[in-house]
Amino acid sequence: MTTSYARRPVFGKPPDTLVVEEPLEIRVNGQSIAVTMRTPGSELELALGFLYTEGIIRDVSEVASAKLCVDDPNVAEVVLRQHYAIESRNFYTTSSCGVCGKASIDSVKVHSHHDVSADPVTVRAATLSLLPDKLRQAQRGFARTGGSHAAGVFTAAGDLVLVREDVGRHNAFDKAIGTLLQRGEVPLAGHVILVSGRASFELTQKAWVAGAPVLAAVSAPSTLAVDLAAEAGITLVGFLRGESMNVYTRPDRVS
């Protein structure tokens, strides 16, 4: 049985609790399409979220079955109802970056089926300022190890819908999206996604594919993240720390 935490010795000090990092292979219709370094837990949600945010599936109804391999819990096997032609893309990812293994920049850019730019949601700046503390309070893994990232989904009123953690930012994001996909709560119209680290191009892409109009990060965005958010019509907030924040795109949604 896998665990999310492990004790390791520290020279001259008591043993430390560390977040576990292990590979997860994702197979679609018997073909391996991705290997990601992740924290054990919510493997099927991670697989479904990955397939959705990469544009391989558009709805959970396209999935006939999803299960862990009987012989290897580090393998998620997904069977789609229709044949899917796997593109020539290398999906190997580390826990820190989800796009560095793809074959070309053109294959990185997955277009959303949701018109995020038309979402009329508005969020009070005072509400945004409270979200990092709410996210931190829900980060049990980070509290124990200090080594996990989180993705939290909030309503525009600031209510926490769910939070997922992982050693990788993009995995935490996919676990959250995969969970909501199973519940039938995607697209995330009218919602805010908050990530515990920086806002990368890939996380902005995933927010767009999931139909989320607002993406916030406690750290900095990248230039490509800002450019993609502007193209998609996403409100991108960075350096969200208390009452301080930078709104890079679509500031009309922040009141």
Where do the domains of the chain lie? 22-108, 116-253
| Catalytically active residues, by annotation | 97
Instruction: Kindly list the distances between the CA atom of residue 118 and the CA atoms of 58, 235, 253, in Å, as whole numbers in the listed order.
Output: 20, 12, 11
pLDDT number for residue 112: 82
More confident residue, 91 or 36: 36
Contact 225, 201 (CB under 8 A): yes
* Helical axes 43-53 vs 169-183, angle rounded to 10°: 90
Average pLDDT value for residue range 204-213: 96
Residues β-bridged to residue 75: 25
Q: What's at 234, amino acid-wise?
A: I
CATH number for the domain formed by residue range(s) 22-108: 3.10.20.10
Q: Looking at residue 87, what is its pLDDT?
A: 57
DSSP 167-194: SSHHHHHHHHHHHHHHHT--S-TTEEEE
Q: Is the per-residue pLDDT at 254 higher than 60?
A: yes
Domain covering 116-253: architecture: 3-Layer(aba) Sandwich (3.40)
Q: What is the pLDDT of residue 96?
A: 55
- ∠ CA 135-139-109, nearest 5°, is 70
**Identical fold at 22-108 and 116-253?**
no
Q: What is the mean pLDDT of residues 215-239?
A: 96
Q: Give the whole-angstrom CA distance, residue 65 versus residue 14.
A: 44
15-34 burial, b for 16+ CB within 10 Å, e for fewer?
Answer: eeebbbbeebbbbbeeeebb
- Range 188-212 burial, b when 16+ CB lie within 10 A, else e: bbbbbbbbbbbbbbbbbbbbbbbbb
- Asked whether residue 100 carries a pLDDT value surpassing 70, the answer given is no
Predicted structure pTM score: 0.91
